[in-house]
Every structure is written in structure tokens, then in C-alpha cells.
Structure 1
């Protein structure tokens, strides 16, 4: 039986952030099709502690701590004329593991999650390569460049330019390139150089609707008996999330609290930056940091907000809130790729004034808000289950759809 090599820029466990959620479900799905060998990085000791989870599902694995600092990776990238995104994830131990697995195992396909891991696919590999870009990283860096000041703007523009060339070359090498939404797939196609067009396919994110189920879930105690609760969830050292909560806390919450003086804005997520931590107490903002379970915070929210102005792909935070039957207020960027109708399963507004107006409307009309929340869960349950979303993977990897997946010794 053909086996699969799975490359990811982070260990898929625990699935507690967007990229890990996708990689965890993809890995589990592939492991149900064939033996899978996994090469990935750990960001910290917390990641390393989940190595037993990886060992339990992989036929063999290499989990390598990512120790190279960003400044050193940047210097290396400048010297070698490469994107920092690649040099930051260059590791000899991981490369040696990949070479050994390809030499010793009958690898028929390589699944690559995130563009920076494509550097580990050797030119000599003759099997299928499925490249899961998820979203268009080069376009994200272009947006960073447009928003940043000099000299950061120059560095971001350089990264965008070099990554765009790399993405083009990788896409032409791959059997198929995956993007998380049709919009991202269309954008990716537009950015390819003229010539033979590679296969670019949209493969969305799913949601575990059994786990994200409001039934029987009690609200976080901090949200009970207070004023209206507006909640944002996400990784709080991710620049688009940081920018989103700063804008909402400083520009939207004053307008909300002018009508609802006790309203609170809960910023829920791990690794808050200094800029995020400084928002605690500003205009009713509460910064929680990491929480053991995000569901009680969602259950206690009168309104979940996703005011991102830079966003690529499907926002898992939006799907999770919808699955929890919460009314969600999102910017157009955050709503991209979400299978929802505006004003039926999702409310969309652009800019601080419009966000404040929409938030106040939902907080005033609790019946409307509850109806939107219930409709949101219904459509997520119907259309966003992981099994259905990932069904095309077997064909893309050249594997039978429902074989028993025997394990091999690690």
C-alpha cells in the first residue's frame, strides 16, 4: 500500500488555533486512508508535550523544536536572497528525516501544509505532491507592507515579492494546490505567471459541531450578571487579530458604551501582545489571555465580533461562534468564505461607525440576534462537517477512499 508523508509548519496538536485545527483534521483524515509519516515543528515546550498525540496517529514522525530566531532567519534570508518565511523554517534534522522516509518507505504522495514547508519536497520525488497553501501568504505580506511604516514596509514588500515567485514555482511542481476559499483560489490563479496553469482547488475548513455545541454549555462566570458581552476569540500575537481588537476597543466600544454603559468587550486568546494587554480596562475591554476552553466564553457572549481588516481564508473563529449558535458581526474580510447569508446567519459591517451601528441593533433586538444565532448553527451543521469537506483528499492523494489503514513500525 502506498504511504503518505505529511509536512506541517506546526505540530497539529493541540488543535487550538486556526492552522492547527486544519492540520489536525487533515492528518486524522489521511491517517484513515493510509499510513502517514509526519515531519513538523514545535514552537515551544507546550507543543513538545503533545508528541505522544502525534506518535499515536503517525506511522513515524519527526518533531523538531523551531529554535532559529526571526532576526537570524532574516539575516540568512537577505544573504541568500530568499524569503524569511523559508529560512525561518529551514532545519537539517527535519530534512534528514524526510530524505530517510522517502528512501525507506513506499511514499506515494506528500501532503504539504503551509508554503514554507514546500522547501522539503525534493526534486527527485516522482509521486504526487498536494500543496495546501491554505491562503495566499504573499498577498498577506503585501497588505502588511501597505499598512506598515518605513522601513518595515520595505521588508514586507520584499517578502511578498519573493514569496509570490516561490508560490508560483511550487504550484507548478505540485499535482494540486489547495486554497481554503474559492476567493483565495481565484486570487492565487490571478497571481501566477503566464504559462501552463497548474491545478488550483478550493478545499475549505470544517468545524466539529459535536464539540462546538451550545447544548449544556454554561457561560463563563465572568460573563454572567453583567452588561452586554461582546467577544473576540483568536491567537492574540497574530498581527491582524491585534489590529482588529485595537480598532474595536478604541473606536467601536465607546459608541456601544454610550448606549450600554456596562457593555464589556472580551478579548479571549493566548499570547496577547503588549499592545493587546494594554487594552485591558479600556472602554470596557477585558483581556483574558489563554483560557482552557473557549466555548464558555462564546456561550456567554451576546455578540461575537470578528472585525478583521486583513484576513485570508476562512476564519475558524467565525465558524466556531456560529456553531455555538451565537450571532456574529464580521467585517467583509472576516466573512469571506463563510457559507452564510448576510442578515440571516451572519451580520456584516465595514468600518467603526457601521460596526457600532450593527452591534447596537443586535444588542437592542435580542429576538433577532437569537434567530441569527440559531440559523447560523443550522447552516454550519449542514454544510461544514469535516468528513464532507475533506472527502476529495483521497482522490488528490491517489488513495482508495475507505481502506483499512495498517500501521507500520516507527
Structure 2
């Protein structure tokens, strides 16, 4: 008989159109084929309600709760009053809590997978000691907020540092109270071990995956660019602060130098929900902001390189792996490539200053597109979802289940 898995994830694991949903969707696909999944999650984007039936069809049971945008304000106020991290207050929900409690009492799950730390609150003190619990933190979220605090002005700097301190305390409690804490890269795991040494012996890492059948450079796709354009492309959710900072930094510090020497240069920003700040970049001649697109592959297929000038990055970047799967060279900062295996021959051009990025970009733009075949080979060898999730599953199986 298939075992029961209680799977808690902070937003509906479909569609796989941003980093965390790529991970959570692949986890759902993997485990629903092998376990009876009881899914508890939120819908924080009204457009995602159309996918609820699809997600539900993969599960034994679901509790899918609406999380309206106004909760950010009320949750933040509640967090300040109660002394909690604002992120935790935002996700507090009685309906989901009651469903989790009932599911644990009536279904007696064999294991629990908590995807994103904020969901751990729902199982605290409810599970028998013998039930394995994975806390998949993805990255050290508290450090992201600390980085925001270091670069912001008061009072935001105070608010961000407060969030960092509160979240770190919560992350440490989660790690101490669960069987295993997983991060998306060895670097993130090592960082957390220094922040939570009491849980170092049960802190591990997993690896991202890429669907290299879908991201296949041999598939012929229509060119979305104008004839003669020499394109560097950035992909990612454009309401996410590190992505916003990356493209604005590039346009402010690098773009003009390249455009002056290569008038056919196009910097194409592809991603859902661009903020007003990002949309304004579309007014710059030679910059294109697409908004959400049904398929990102044509934009990768017909560019000369993926340009990933991230100034702040946590974990492994899906955008880098997807470009590599499409045999696309990558021009990036060190931060954008953290956690990706150093595979021989991969065409990754690293630039951490505006001058260096301009120089390398002009070199890429001056020649025909190079096929990053080693990049695709790296993805196929090291970033297969089923292989990586099988290792994750081993943490959910008790020793007697393995033998």
C-alpha cells in the first residue's frame, strides 16, 4: 500500500512559472506517483484558481486556501504587535490549521514535507515523534532580509533587519524540531550550519532539476525578436526584488556602454508581473520588457546569451540552469552561478563589475552564437529531477521502510 505524505507548501504548486513553484510542482509530480499526497497550500494569485482542479487531481486530499493581497498589510501589522516575523503573520490561517490537525488525527501520515519555512507552524507539536519531517527551506530566507537591510535606508533597514532576526530564530526552531533540514545548494546548507550549529548534523542539501526534454535546443521555435537584433536575455519573475535590482542595475550601469558600440543590441527582459519600475525600462531604446509569456524557450533559443547580472541571489538559479539546458551561453555575476557545478567546457562568462560585464557582453555580441553543449551536458548529468528527488525521498523513509 502507498504511504501517506502530508505536503505543506506556501503557494499552489502550479503553474511552474517561478523558482519556488518549479520546485514545488516537480515535488508534487514525483511524490504523487509514489505516495498518497495530502496537500495543504495557499492561492496568492487569483489567476492560479484555474489550476486548482489540476493540482487536486494529483492528490488524495487537499486544503487550498485563498490568501488575498490585503493580508500582507494586516499580517504585517499583526506581526509587529505580536513580535512575530512579518512573513509568519502573513501566512497564519485557522482554516488550514484545522485541516492539518484533522488530517494528522484521522489519516496518520507516514511522513511530512514542509516546503518553505513559514508552513512549519501548521505541524508544530502535532506529530508523533516517529513521523519523519523534512523542512525544505530552499534557501536561508533570513539572510535575504539581512542583505536587504544592509542596503536600505532607515526605517526600512530597521524593518528588514528585524525580519532577518525573527526569521532566523524561527528557522533555528524549525531545524531543531524536524528530522532533516534541506537547502537548495551545498553553499546554502553550509551557511545555515554556521547560523544554526545545534542542527548542523541534520542539515543537508538537495539539487534543483531541469526538464531537459522540454528545454531542448533542437526544437525549432519562432524567433520573437526583430531581424538583425543582437540579444541578451534576462528571464525571471519581475515582481521579485533581486530580479528588479538586477535589470535596473544593468540598464543604469552597463547598457549604454554596450549600445553605443553595438547599435543592434537588445536587452530583453522576460518575466511575469513586471513592476512599474521594470516597465519604465521598456521606454529605453534597445530594452524590451515582455511581461509574462506563454513559453520562455523562444526567447532563449534566439538570444546570444542569457544575461544574469544578479547583485543578490540565494540558492541555485533556475534561470541559469534553463539557459544551460537550451545550450545558451551565460553571462552572469558570481552570485547568479552559486551552487552550479563547475563542469568542464561550460560557456559561463563571469563579470562582477559594470566594466567587465560590458566588455564580455561586447565580445559575445561580436560573434555568432556559440552552442553551450557542455552546459546542456552538465544539466543532463547533474540536474535531473527524479534523481535528485529520490535522494530527498530517502529522508522521508524510516530505516525499516528501506529494508
TM-score, normalising length from structure 1?
0.93
> 1:93-140 deviations in whole A, cap 9, x for unaligned?
111111111111130211000111111113130211100000000000
Tell me if the contact between 1:219 and 1:297 (Cα under 8 Å) persists in the aligned partners.
Answer: no
Cα RMSD (Å) of the superposition? 1.8
Tell me if the contact between 1:180 and 1:203 (Cα under 8 Å) persists in the aligned partners.
Answer: yes
Tell me if the contact between 2:182 and 2:206 (Cα under 8 Å) persists in the aligned partners.
Answer: yes
Structure 1 residues 122, 134: CA separation in 2 closer, same or farther (over 3 Å shift)?
same
Of the three residues 246, 256, 265, the one matched with 1:263 is 265
Of the three residues 259, 272, 275, the one matched with 1:273 is 275
CA–CA separation in structure 2 for the residues paired with 1:71 and 1:350: 36
CA–CA separation in structure 2 for the residues paired with 1:139 and 1:230: 30
Of the three residues 210, 213, 216, the one matched with 1:213 is 216
- Is residue 2:387 matched to residue 1:388? yes
CA–CA separation in structure 1 for the residues paired with 2:180 and 2:34: 18
> 1:375-410 deviations in whole A, cap 9, x for unaligned?
21121112211111111122211179999xxxxxxx
1:320 shift after superposition: 0.6
CA–CA separation in structure 2 for the residues paired with 1:272 and 1:197: 38
Tell me if the contact between 1:250 and 1:283 (Cα under 8 Å) persists in the aligned partners.
Answer: no
Match of 1:407 in 2: none
1:196 shift after superposition: 5.8
CA–CA separation in structure 1 for the residues paired with 2:252 and 2:401: 52
CA–CA separation in structure 1 for the residues paired with 2:324 and 2:293: 19
1:219 shift after superposition: 4.0
Q: What are structure 2's unaligned runs of at least 5 residues?
A: none
CA–CA separation in structure 2 for the residues paired with 1:297 and 1:129: 40
> 1:336-373 deviations in whole A, cap 9, x for unaligned?
0112448733111102111111111122233xx514x2
Of the three residues 134, 141, 148, the one matched with 1:130 is 134
Equivalent residue runs for 1:23-102 within 5 Å: 23-67=24-68, 68-102=70-104
Tell me if the contact between 1:33 and 1:402 (Cα under 8 Å) persists in the aligned partners.
Answer: no
The runs of 4+ residues in structure 1 deviating greater than 4 Å are 399-403
Higher relative contact order structure (alpha carbons within 8 Å, sequence separation ≥ 6): 1
Tell me if the contact between 2:114 and 2:134 (Cα under 8 Å) persists in the aligned partners.
Answer: yes
> 1:244-301 deviations in whole A, cap 9, x for unaligned?
0001112111111121112111110011001000111315111111111111111121
TM-score, normalising length from structure 2?
0.95
User: For 1:211, what is the secondary structure of its paired residue?
Assistant: coil
CA–CA separation in structure 2 for the residues paired with 1:316 and 1:335: 10
Structure 1 residues 90, 198: CA separation in 2 closer, same or farther (over 3 Å shift)?
farther
Tell me if the contact between 1:252 and 1:356 (Cα under 8 Å) persists in the aligned partners.
Answer: yes
CA–CA separation in structure 2 for the residues paired with 1:391 and 1:34: 13
CA–CA separation in structure 2 for the residues paired with 1:294 and 1:162: 37
User: For 2:289, what is the secondary structure of its paired residue?
Assistant: strand
User: For 1:141, what is the secondary structure of its paired residue?
Assistant: helix
CA–CA separation in structure 2 for the residues paired with 1:328 and 1:142: 28
Structure 1 residues 219, 400: CA separation in 2 closer, same or farther (over 3 Å shift)?
farther
Tell me if the contact between 1:42 and 1:64 (Cα under 8 Å) persists in the aligned partners.
Answer: yes
1:202 shift after superposition: 0.8
> 1:44-83 deviations in whole A, cap 9, x for unaligned?
2211111111111110001111125222111100111100
CA–CA separation in structure 2 for the residues paired with 1:248 and 1:349: 12
CA–CA separation in structure 1 for the residues paired with 2:88 and 2:94: 13
Structure 1 residues 383, 201: CA separation in 2 closer, same or farther (over 3 Å shift)?
same
Structure 1 residues 358, 341: CA separation in 2 closer, same or farther (over 3 Å shift)?
farther
Tell me if the contact between 2:343 and 2:374 (Cα under 8 Å) persists in the aligned partners.
Answer: no
CA–CA separation in structure 2 for the residues paired with 1:196 and 1:156: 25
User: For 2:390, what is the secondary structure of its paired residue?
Assistant: coil
Tell me if the contact between 2:184 and 2:206 (Cα under 8 Å) persists in the aligned partners.
Answer: yes
Match of 2:20 in 1: 19
Match of 1:164 in 2: 168
User: For 1:392, what is the secondary structure of its paired residue?
Assistant: helix
1:206 shift after superposition: 0.3
Instruction: Report how many residues are paired.
Output: 398
1:322 shift after superposition: 0.8
User: For 2:313, what is the secondary structure of its paired residue?
Assistant: coil
Of the three residues 139, 143, 148, the one matched with 1:139 is 143
1:318 shift after superposition: 0.6
